[in-house]
Amino acid sequence: MAEAVLIDFFGLKFNSQKNSHQALLKTLNAVRYHHAAKAKFLCIMCCNNISCERNGAHNNCELEASNGLSTLLREFETVSNPSMAASLYTIKQKIDEKNLSSIKVIVPMHRKTLLKAFIDQLFTSVYSFEFEDLQVTLRGVPLKQSTEIDMITAQEVEAIQNEIQTYLRSLPALKGELTIITSPLISDIFLHGFTTRTGGISYIPTLSSFNLFSSSKRRDPKVVVQENLRRLGNAAGFNVEKFYRIKTDHASDVWIMERKEPESYDGITTNQRGVTIAALAADCIPIVFADPVRKACGVAHSGWRGTLLGIAMATVNAMITEYGCSLEDIIVVLGPSVGPCCFTLPRESAKGFHNLDPECVRLFDSPNPCVDIRKATRILLERGGILPQNIQDLNQDLNLCTSCHPDKFFSHVRDGLNFGTQIGFISIRE
């Protein structure tokens, strides 16, 4: 049974005549009868002006209530907007506020394909949709509708994408201004930074607001993440069309961009100008590498497994092998991550850190010792030959444990499975 029911009145013609109101009343009563007992959200979607066009057709969709219709409408939420993108995004917000995921859409058959195209852009696989043809009768005769459109053209798909992008660009930033943390150790020949959770448009509490990753398990669609990324590109000065994220596997594989891309990797290196590379993180460490002499850079995603597997030095070694970098020239900046104050592992998993250096583990004899993945990373980098003065630990310098600062950062440890993602990024200026 659907948790939410959406009725699409964009494509139907109603006016203020009594018999038209009776038709609408009958339709809404039928929906209420079949769904009100189970559904937690009943919603009507229509446009707020008289004329809505598609393929040259004008559709009157004003809802002027009277008599019993006015009373019945109070049981439905009405979302009224001339933009389909704005209407559906508003409805999505209301559905997300109630934490619903099973949705029935009652829609005129000629609009079903169009509506599905919008839904595919604005919703993720977290949601399940069921579609039902909207039947409206007037004096016992079904209200005439256009025939079903089985497919939409490439031009219409592009128009849908443009409408959604235009709407998302109009939304204000949430939770404050976009903030980029930078390191004084990295030369100005590079663009670089670490993002926080402020300044984006993601509205779900654990993803709000500058979430930079979308997946089938999260409620943030790709179009929202892409808008957040567009705003980051504008603020930092990089081209989002040349932006590459790590494909995390919590291991130690590195993609050297001049070679074939692996299926998954936790490090990237490049010496191409104008290409921005990024490491995703929520509690794991986003690490940025820069060599101003050889003009090469890299990023790495270092979780506890990747730390023990040596992803940081694997990225350094890729820069040395591929670009002729020297250990003494490479700068390494450890971005915001969880600290030992908030991160624990089962004792068996913590043994690897204790064996590396006992100072990486607190309360080792407990069932779940506290582990310092940042200290372990620094130790491995220094043992690998990176100069201590060329390593900056932003957590240590700025007290930036991701779990301790819900106002600044996303955190898997703190927020659970539906966590948001920040990044560390770098590129060589063109």
In three state form, how does the secondary structure of 400-417 look?
Answer: CCCCCCCCCCCCHHHHCC
The reported pTM is 0.92
pLDDT class of 50 with cuts at 50, 70, 90: very low
How big is the chain by its Cα radius of gyration, in Å?
Answer: 27
Are the beta carbons of 24 and 60 closer than 8 angstroms?
A: no
Give 80's strand partners.
46
CA dist 91 and 88 (Å) reads: 5
Nearest Cα residue to 105 out of 118, 115, 96: 115
CA distance 163 to 84: 8
Helices vs strands, H then E, count in the chain: 12, 22
Contacts of 387 (CB under 8 A, 6+ apart): 327, 328
Is the pLDDT reported for residue 205 higher than 70? yes
Q: Is the peptide bond before 209 cis (omega within 30 degrees of 0)?
A: yes
CA 319 to chain centre: 30
Q: What is the pLDDT of residue 52?
A: 41
Boundaries of every domain in the chain: 4-48+67-140+147-169, 173-428
CATH number, domain 173-428, options 3.90.1150.10, 3.40.190.150, 3.60.140.10, 2.60.40.2140? 3.60.140.10
Percent of the chain scoring above 90 in pLDDT: 77
pLDDT above 80 (res 384): yes
Mean pLDDT of 145-151: 62
- pLDDT for 17 equals 55
| pLDDT computed for residue 55 by the predictor | 40
Local structure of residue 172 (DSSP, 8 states): P
Which pLDDT band holds residue 18 (cuts at 50, 70, 90)? Answer: low
pLDDT at 161: 97
Indicate whether 107 pLDDT > 80. Answer: yes
> 263-277, 345-359, 388-402, 405-419: which has the minimum mean pLDDT?
388-402
Estimate to the nearest angstrom the gap between the alpha carbon of 8 and the chain centroid.
27
* pLDDT, mean over the chain: 90
* Tokens found for residue 322: 């591929």
Could you report the per-residue pLDDT of 292-322, keeping only the tens digit for each?
Answer: 999 999 999 999 999 999 999 999 999 999 9
Classify strands 52-54 and 57-59 as parallel, antiparallel or unpaired. antiparallel
The answer, yes or no, to whether residue 59 has pLDDT greater than 50, is: no
Lowest model confidence (mean pLDDT) among 124-138, 156-170, 235-249, 328-342: 124-138
Q: Which of 320, 289, 300 is nearest to 255 (CA)?
A: 300
